[in-house]
């Protein structure tokens, strides 16, 4: 699996888990306790990657996401709506 794909897959999984934990506290009556994998790798993603990721301002984070999505720099042309 290419690095960008591996990074995205793991980042997505653990960021979604962290968000789910947050939403469980907001809507406890609509949620049940989710299953969470254990292990050193998951510890890293949950306790180091996720907090560091969320500390970075969104505008910079977005640039990092896009840079890691196109490591060769060949970003295809698409219309912008922002």
Positions touching another protein (CB under 8 A) are 2, 4-5, 7-8, 12, 15-16, 18-20, 22-24, 27, 29-35, 53-54, 56, 58, 61-62, 65-66, 68-70, 72, 74, 76-82
Is 13:44 a contact under the CB 8 Å cutoff? Answer: no
CB of 41 to another protein, least distance (A): 16
Q: Which is nearer to another protein, 33 or 39 (CB)?
A: 33
Q: How far apart are CA 28 and CA 8, in angstroms?
A: 29
Q: How far apart are CA 9 and CA 11, in angstroms?
A: 6
């Amino acid at each position: 699996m290419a690095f960008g794909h591996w990074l995205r897959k793991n980042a997505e999984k653990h960021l979604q888990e962290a968000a789910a934990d947050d939403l469980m506290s907001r809507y406890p009556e609509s949620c049940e306790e989710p299953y969470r994998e254990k292990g050193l790798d998951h510890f890293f993603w949950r306790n180091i990657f996720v907090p560091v990721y969320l500390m970075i301002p969104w505008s910079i984070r977005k640039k990092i996401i896009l840079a890691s999505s196109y490591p060769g720099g060949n970003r295809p042309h698409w219309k912008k709506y922002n």
